[in-house]
């Protein structure tokens, strides 16, 4: 190295470079066939979250979010609603929802997370949001589960779902419990029968005061 010529370590350049420039630099390097700089995980998460911002859907008033809340992420769910057969308050056998179990997909069909009991949603970046349904409306298709408004109750992790305030479940297809005639009462010492009903839905995740 010529005397007097100073260089800046790559790690310092990466920390100091704005995210758009850093991503552009990586793309240019790839196009020229030279090694691309490693984009920090935090930058990847920010870029992914930004790319998922979409317009809020048109929904019935009963399941609209609070003024000021904005969509941060939309995910399409594909999975099952799991029901167990038990005994209702009237003493008759009935199906009761045990849990949803579904993959969360982006617009290209890639798995970006999972939906499970709670209800709970976990993103592939490790962040999780749990919630409680606060309102519902019947789906246009009576054979499909209702559309929901869900208020966030707790979070974990530091990724995309860490600041979610509300979730909407809309555009549902399927998922309703089987006919009551297919339910077998658990009874003493008898194994509870379980049914796994396929369903699809769109989930919209909102944050308060997002730009």
Higher pLDDT, 164 or 34: 164
Contacts of 111 (CB under 8 A, 6+ apart): 103, 104, 105, 124
Statement to judge: residues 56 and 121 lie in one domain: yes
Residue 1 located in a structural domain: no
Residue 120 located in a structural domain: yes
Statement to judge: residues 56 and 33 lie in one domain: no
Which range marks the domain in which residue 14 is found? 10-39
Interval 83-128: pLDDT, tens: 998 888 888 888 999 999 999 999 999 999 999 999 999 999 999 9
Statement to judge: residues 112 and 182 lie in one domain: yes
pTM above 0.75, yes or no: no
What is the percent of the chain where pLDDT is above 70? 70
Q: Given pLDDT bands bounded at 50, 70 and 90, which one contains residue 53? A: low
Tell me, what's the pLDDT at 36?
Answer: 34
Statement to judge: residues 144 and 176 lie in one domain: yes
Q: Given pLDDT bands bounded at 50, 70 and 90, which one contains residue 68? A: very high
Statement to judge: residues 160 and 182 lie in one domain: yes
Using alpha carbons, list the distances in angstroms from residue 119 to 101, 128, 162, 170, 184.
10, 11, 15, 15, 26
Tell me, what's the pLDDT at 69?
Answer: 95
Rounded average pLDDT over 2-29: 41
Interval 148-184: pLDDT, tens: 999 999 999 999 999 999 999 999 999 999 988 788 6
Residue 20 located in a structural domain: yes
Statement to judge: residues 77 and 123 lie in one domain: yes
Statement to judge: residues 175 and 105 lie in one domain: yes
Statement to judge: residues 19 and 74 lie in one domain: no
Statement to judge: residues 102 and 177 lie in one domain: yes
Token code pair at residue 41: 């995980």
Statement to judge: residues 57 and 14 lie in one domain: no
Interval 122-147: pLDDT, tens: 999 999 999 999 999 999 999 999 99
Tell me, what's the pLDDT at 184?
Answer: 65
The domain tally of the chain equals 2
Statement to judge: residues 33 and 91 lie in one domain: no
Residue 95 located in a structural domain: yes
CA 169 – CA 192 distance, rounded (Å): 28
Residue 179 located in a structural domain: yes
Residue 3 located in a structural domain: no
Residue 63 located in a structural domain: yes
Residue 45 located in a structural domain: no
Statement to judge: residues 81 and 119 lie in one domain: yes
CA 115 – CA 199 distance, rounded (Å): 12
In which residue are the tokens 């997002």 written?
Answer: 210
């Amino acid at each position: 190295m010529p005397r007097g010529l100073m260089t800046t370590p790559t790690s310092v350049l990466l920390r100091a470079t704005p995210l758009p420039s850093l991503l552009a630099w990586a793309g240019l390097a790839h196009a020229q066939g030279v090694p691309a700089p490693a984009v920090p995980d935090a930058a990847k998460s920010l870029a992914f979250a930004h790319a998922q911002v979409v317009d809020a859907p048109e929904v019935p008033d009963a399941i609209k979010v609070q003024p000021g809340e904005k969509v941060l992420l939309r995910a399409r769910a594909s999975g099952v609603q799991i029901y167990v057969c038990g005994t209702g308050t009237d003493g008759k056998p009935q199906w009761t929802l045990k849990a949803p179990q579904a993959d969360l997909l982006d617009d290209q069909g890639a798995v970006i997370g999972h939906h499970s009991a709670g209800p709970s949603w976990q993103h592939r970046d490790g962040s999780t949001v749990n919630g409680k349904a606060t309102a519902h409306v019947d789906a246009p298709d009576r054979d499909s589960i209702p559309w929901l408004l869900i208020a966030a109750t707790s979070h974990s992790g530091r990724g995309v779902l860490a600041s979610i305030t509300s979730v909407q479940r809309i555009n549902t297809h399927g998922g309703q419990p089987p006919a009551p005639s297919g339910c077998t009462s658990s009874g003493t010492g008898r194994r509870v029968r379980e049914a796994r009903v396929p369903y699809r839905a769109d989930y919209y995740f909102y944050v308060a005061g997002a730009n």
